[in-house]
Amino acid sequence: MTEGVARLAKGGRIDRARPLRFRFAGKLYIGYAGDTLASALLANGIHLVARSFKYHRPRGILTAGAEEPNALLRITRGDGRVDPNTRATTLPLFNDLDAAPQNCRPGLRFDLQAINGLLGPLFPAGFYYKTFMWPASFWKRFYEPRIRAAAGLGEAPRQPDPDRYLHRFAHCEVLIAGGGPAGIAAALAATRAGARVILAEEQPQFGGWLTGEGALRARIDGEAPDAWLEAALAELRAAGNCRLLPRTSVFGCYDHNLVGLLEDVADHKFAPAAGEPRHRLWKVRAARVVIATGMTERPLVFPANDRPGIMMAGAAATYLHRHAVLPGREIVIVTNNDSVYGLAGDFVAAGARVTLADARREIPDSIALPARNRGVELLPGTLPAGSEGRLRVRQIHLRSRDAGTTLPVPRACDLVLVSGGWSPNLALFAQARGELRWDAELAAFRPGPAHWPMCCAGGANGTRRLGEAIADGLRAGAAAAAAAGFEKPAPEPPSVEEGPAWTVEPLWCVPGCSSRERGEAFVDFQHDVTARDLGLALREGYESIEHVKRYTTTGMGTDQGKLGNLNALGIVAGEKGVPVPAVGVTTFRQPWTPVPFGALVGANRGPLFDPVRRTPMHAWAERAGAVFEDVGQWKRARYFPREGEDMQAAVQREAKAVRASCGMLDASTLGKIDIRGPDAAEFLNRVYTNSWAKLAVGACRYGLMLGEDGMVFDDGVTARLGEDHFHMTTTTGGAARVLAWLENWLQTEWPELRVWCTSVTEQWATMTVTGPKAREVLRPLVEDVDLGRDAFPHMTFRSGRVAGVPARIFRISFTGELSFEVNVPAGYGLHVWEALLEAGAPHGLTVYGTETMHLLRAEKGYIIVGQDTDGTVTPFDLGMGWIVSKKKGDFIGRRSLFRSGMRRSDRKQLVGLLTEDPALVLEEGAQIVEDPRQPLPMRMIGHVTSSYRSPNLGRSIALAMVRGGRERSGQRLWVPRLDGPAIPVEVTSPVFYDPEGTRLHV
C-alpha cells in the first residue's frame, strides 16, 4: 500500500492531504480526494481492469468519462450495496471503495473464456443465428444456457437495496445541461437576465475542459482560465436565481421539455449519511433548454486497437492535468487531427517520451513546430497498423501511409493515445427530436433545427475554440432567457487568447483493418464488434444502419455507442460508397447514462408503492381482528374471525346472523359521485340504460352502465336528492374509472350539458344495517326520519340525523333483507359506527365483511360487476332486459346492444347452479360442459362466476354464465375439476333465497 507509481509529485486537482484507501480485485491501494476510481487505478499503474463481453479480451481504461465502454467494475460497499457495471471513470474515489473486475473466471489476468477469442473466427457477428438449431431441444437445455452464461457483464445484486431515493419536481426558465465553459456562460447570461436557471453538470466540479488541459491552453482576459471560472461560479452562486447542480446527469429530454436529471447525493461516498438519499431524481419542466454537453473524442479503428494501455488522448489529458497521473512513459499518440499536439508536449514535460503518428501527410508548421520544439517526435503520414502485448500494450506497429506495401515498424511503448476527432454530444438534442446536420469540416454531426424550445451551445454546437464556446454560451443563455420573457442583451464575451481551431481529416477505419492478420479492429469495444463484422453484415444484406446495429450489436452496450457509433457509420458509408450522412443514424434514446431503477422509483416502494385507502372505520376493524382484502387501492374487511374460526366458519356465522337478526357492513368504499346541474337527469338518461327523467326527488333507482360495446361496465344505485342533484354510487373498484368515463363524455361529446360531477367517495362514511331487526337497531338513533315501512319504503332515501350527526339514509338492499345504508360525513363515521354497534348489541348485531356480503347477495342472485360479468355480458345476458329502456331514446351502448350478434340465444346467460351433492362447493372460474367424457379440446358452454357454501340454504350454491342458460333450467351439466372427477350440477334460477322478495318490503 504505497503512493501510486504513476502519480506525479505535483500538479493536478487532487488533495494530496486526503489520501483514500481502496481495494481493487482484493488488493489495497491508495488514491486521493479528487480522484476517480479510474484515475486512482492508473496512478497505481493498473491498466488491465476488465474483460470484454464476447471474446473476453483483456481491456483497460479507455476514457475518462460517461462514454467508457471497458472499465465497468463491480462496486461493493457492505451488505446490499452492490453495483455491477459501474464506470470507474465517473465514480469519484471514496474511502473503503471495493472494486472488482467482472466477466472473468478465474481472474482478470487469466480468464478461461478468453478461449472465445481464439475461436473468434467461428464467432463472427450474428453467428448464433446460423447454428445451434439441431436438435431442437438442445437450444434451451444446452446452447442457450452457455450463451447466457458467457454473455451479460456483472452479477446482479442478490440483496434488497438498503438505500433511499427521492424525487423532486422543479420549474425553471432555462435549464442548462453541461457545466463546461459554454454552459457556465449560458448560465451567466440567463441569470443576469433574471430568469430562473438550473445548471447541471455530471462531474463533481464545474468547468469541464478548463479543469484539465484547457487550463494550460488558453488565457481569459489575460489571466489563467481559473480566474474567470471562479468568478463566474461565484456570481452564479450568489445570484439567487441560479441553481447549480454538480454530480447531476441530465439523462433524458422528454416531451415538451420535461427533463430528467439524476443527482448523485451520496453515491460518491461509502454510504449515505442518516436520512440522506443515494440519488435525487429531478423532473424539471423548463421553458427553454440549453444543451452544452461538449464533445466526445472518437477512437481510431485499427487492428488490435483495444489492448490495455491504449487510451483516448483526451482522457489521458484529464488524467495528467486533473489527476496528476502519468499513465505511461513511452507514449505513442496516433491521430488524424490537431487536438493532441499540445498534449503531446505536456507529456514530454511530465517526463515521458512521446512519438506522435499523424495520419495526415501535411502538418502545418504552426502546429508541428511547437510540438517538435517541446521534444515530441512527429511522424506525419503515419498510420497505426497493429499492436502487441497480452495484458498491456508493449508495442505498436506503425506504417507509412504512402508506402502501402512496406511492412509496419514495431515501436515499443507502454501507452498508446488515440484521437480520431471529436463529435458534438447530441444525444439529448436528438432525444428531443432535434435534427442532425452533417458538418464535413468537423467530420461529425452538428445540431440542425430543434423541434422543441431548446438549442445547443459550445462544443455541442460544433464550436472548437474556447472563446467561441463562451461567446456561443452567452448568446444561447441570453436568447433562452429572452424567449422565456427575460430580455437582456447577451453580455460581452471575454477576450480569450488561444491557438487556432483544430482541424481533422476523417479516418473512419485505418486501411487494412478489415483483415485479421494483425488482429481485429474494434469499433464497439464493449461488444467486441469489429470493422470486419460491419462488413459482414453489409455483405449479408443487413444494409440499413438499424440492421447493422442489431445484427452486429454495435452501439448496444451500456455506453450506447457514445464512442463507436460515428466510426461505425463512417465504415458503413465507406463500404457502401456513400457519404456518411446518407447512412443515417440509429435512434438516440433516453437515458444518456444508465439510471438506477431505484432512482426512478423514488420513495414509491413498499407501503408507498400505491396509496392505501382506508375507511373511517378501518382502525376499529383492525382492533376487531378483521382480515382485509385489497380491492383496488382500498383495504376492505373481508371477514371478522372469532377465536378459532377460519374464513369459512366466520362467514357462515356472519351470514346466518344477518338473516336471523341483523348485521352491519362498512360500505364506505363504494364509489360516490355527486352530480349536479340542470341537465343532470338527461345526463343520467344517457349514461344508464334505464330512464331517469321521472325519478321523484327522494327516490333511488338501480342503474346499469354500458360501455360503447353494449357490455355491462358498472352498476349502482343513484338517488335523486333534488331536482338538479343526484348522488350516484358505483362499484368500489370502478369509482375512478366511472368518474373518468363521465367526464370524458361531458367534456368531449356533450359539452352542451350543464352537469358537474364531483367524487365524494371519501367524504361519506357508509354503513349498511341489514336484517329483519335493522329497523329496531336504527330507530333509537334516528331523529327526524320515520323509519316505518310505508313512510320510508324500499328504494327511497331520507335526510335526517343519526346518532346526532347529519345523515343520508338510503333504504336499498344488497342482501335481500330490510336494509338501511347510512351515510354520514366521513369524520363522524367511527362515531356513528360505534353508536350503531351499541344500539345493535341487544339485537345481536353482527359485523360482517365483504366475503359475507358476496355470499348474501349470491343467495339473492344479485350480480357483482367484474365477478359475474367480465366485459362480455349484456343486460339481456343477465336476465335484466327490464332495465333497458325501449322508449327513452339513445344511451351509451344502445347501438351496440341491438346488433345481431348480441341477441343470439346461444349467448352466455346468468343462471344458478346446484351441485347434486349439496356439500360440494364448485371452484369459481371452473368451466361447464355437457359431457365430461369428451376428448380434449372439450366444448365448453359456460363457467362458474360465484360459488359459496350457503348457511341459510344449508347447501352450496353457485352463479354461472352458461350458453343459452335460461333455456336449460333443470338440465344436468358437468363441471370438470383439475384434481378429480367432474361434478354434476343442475341449472336453476339464479335467485336462491326469497325469490318473491317479501323480506325486502317488511
Hey, which residues between 118 and 137 contact another protein (CB under 8 A)?
Answer: 121-122, 124, 127-134, 136
Cα separation of the two ends of the chain: 91
- Minimal distance, residue 250 CB to another protein, in Å: 13
Q: Which of 241, 257, 400, 590 binds another protein (CB under 8 A)?
A: 590
Looking at residues 203 to 232 of the shown chain, list those that interact with another protein (rule: CB under 8 A).
none
Q: Which phi-psi region, left, alpha or beta, contains residue 830 (left: φ > 0; alpha: ψ -120 to 50)? A: alpha
Instruction: Compute the distance between CA of residue 123 and CA of residue 126 in angstroms, rounded to an integer.
Output: 8
Looking at residues 238 to 257 of the shown chain, list those that interact with another protein (rule: CB under 8 A).
252, 254-255
- Minimal distance, residue 867 CB to another protein, in Å: 5
Beta strand pairing status for 409-412 and 382-388?
A: unpaired
- Minimal distance, residue 676 CB to another protein, in Å: 27
Reference 849, options 607, 1002, 622; nearest CA is: 622
- Minimal distance, residue 105 CB to another protein, in Å: 11
User: Which sign, positive or negative, has the C-alpha torsion 33, 37, 38, 44?
Assistant: positive
Beta strand pairing status for 72-76 and 310-312?
A: unpaired
Q: Which residues pair with 703 in a beta bridge?
A: 716
Reference 766, options 616, 982, 647; nearest CA is: 616
How much is the CA Rg of the chain, to the nearest whole Å?
38
- Minimal distance, residue 716 CB to another protein, in Å: 12
Instruction: Compute the distance between CA of residue 203 and CA of residue 318 in angstroms, rounded to an integer.
Output: 12
Tell me, what DSSP letter sits at residue 299?
P
- Minimal distance, residue 220 CB to another protein, in Å: 38
Looking at residues 704 to 723 of the shown chain, list those that interact with another protein (rule: CB under 8 A).
708-711, 714
Take residue 916 and report the three cell numbers written for it: 347434486
Smaller CB separation from another protein, 130 or 886: 130
Cβ(332)–Cβ(417) below 8 Å:
yes
Looking at residues 855 to 884 of the shown chain, list those that interact with another protein (rule: CB under 8 A).
864-867, 869-872
Task: Starting at the earlier edge strand, list the strands of the sheet with 409-412.
Answer: 382-388, 395-400, 409-412
Residue owning grid cell 447514462:
593
User: Which sign, positive or negative, has the C-alpha torsion 63, 65, 69, 70?
Assistant: positive
User: Which sign, positive or negative, has the C-alpha torsion 641, 646, 652, 653?
Assistant: negative
E strands along 662-711, which residues? 663-666, 671-676, 700-706
Smaller CB separation from another protein, 255 or 362: 255
Cβ(513)–Cβ(531) below 8 Å:
yes
Question: Residue 886 CB: number of other CB atoms within 10 A?
Answer: 7
Looking at residues 362 to 391 of the shown chain, list those that interact with another protein (rule: CB under 8 A).
none
Q: What are phi and psi of 49, to 5 degrees?
A: -130, -10
Q: Which of 95, 159, 366, 763 binds another protein (CB under 8 A)?
A: 159
Binding mask 67-106 for another protein (x = CB under 8 A): --------------xxxxx-----------------x---
Smaller CB separation from another protein, 27 or 516: 516
Instruction: Compute the distance between CA of residue 315 and CA of residue 327 in angstroms, rounded to an integer.
Output: 10
- Minimal distance, residue 353 CB to another protein, in Å: 37
Smaller CB separation from another protein, 422 or 588: 588
Please give the single-letter amino acid code of residue 357.
A
Instruction: Compute the distance between CA of residue 940 and CA of residue 975 in angstroms, rounded to an integer.
Output: 10
Reference 315, options 297, 333, 331; nearest CA is: 297
Looking at residues 509 to 568 of the shown chain, list those that interact with another protein (rule: CB under 8 A).
515-516, 532, 536, 539-544, 546-547, 550-551, 553, 556-558, 560
- Segment contacting another protein (CB under 8 A): 18-26, 584-592, 795-803, 835-843? 584-592
Take residue 938 and report the three cell numbers written for it: 372439450
Q: Which of 5, 28, 112, 151 binds another protein (CB under 8 A)?
A: 151
- Segment contacting another protein (CB under 8 A): 30-38, 151-159, 300-308, 990-998? 151-159
Q: Which of 106, 160, 751, 981 binds another protein (CB under 8 A)?
A: 160
Instruction: Compute the distance between CA of residue 247 and CA of residue 204 in angstroms, rounded to an integer.
Output: 5
Smaller CB separation from another protein, 109 or 605: 605
Looking at residues 732 to 751 of the shown chain, list those that interact with another protein (rule: CB under 8 A).
732-734, 737
Looking at residues 161 to 190 of the shown chain, list those that interact with another protein (rule: CB under 8 A).
161, 163
Asked if 53 interacts with another protein (CB under 8 A), we say: yes
- Minimal distance, residue 122 CB to another protein, in Å: 5
Looking at residues 399 to 438 of the shown chain, list those that interact with another protein (rule: CB under 8 A).
431, 433
Binding mask 657-676 for another protein (x = CB under 8 A): --------------------
Q: Which of 194, 591, 879, 964 binds another protein (CB under 8 A)?
A: 591
Q: SS3 for 599? A: helix
Looking at residues 968 to 997 of the shown chain, list those that interact with another protein (rule: CB under 8 A).
976, 978
Asked if 140 interacts with another protein (CB under 8 A), we say: yes
Smaller CB separation from another protein, 122 or 919: 122
Asked if 609 interacts with another protein (CB under 8 A), we say: yes
Looking at residues 893 to 912 of the shown chain, list those that interact with another protein (rule: CB under 8 A).
896, 899-902, 904
Q: Which of 246, 453, 499, 598 binds another protein (CB under 8 A)?
A: 598
Residue 146's Cβ-side half-sphere holds a number of Cα atoms within 13 Å equal to 9
Tell whether omega for the bond before 121 is within 30 degrees of 0, i.e. cis.
no
Asked if 702 interacts with another protein (CB under 8 A), we say: no
Smaller CB separation from another protein, 158 or 887: 158
Beta strand pairing status for 805-811 and 819-825?
A: antiparallel
- Minimal distance, residue 145 CB to another protein, in Å: 8
Smaller CB separation from another protein, 751 or 901: 901
Asked if 10 interacts with another protein (CB under 8 A), we say: no
Tell whether omega for the bond before 84 is within 30 degrees of 0, i.e. cis.
no
Looking at residues 911 to 940 of the shown chain, list those that interact with another protein (rule: CB under 8 A).
923-927, 929, 936-938, 940
Smaller CB separation from another protein, 390 or 516: 516
Asked if 271 interacts with another protein (CB under 8 A), we say: no
Output the DSSP codes for 671-740: EEEEEESTTHHHHHHHHBSS--TTPPTTBEEEEEEE-TTS-EEEEEEEEEEETTEEEEEE-TTTHHHHHH
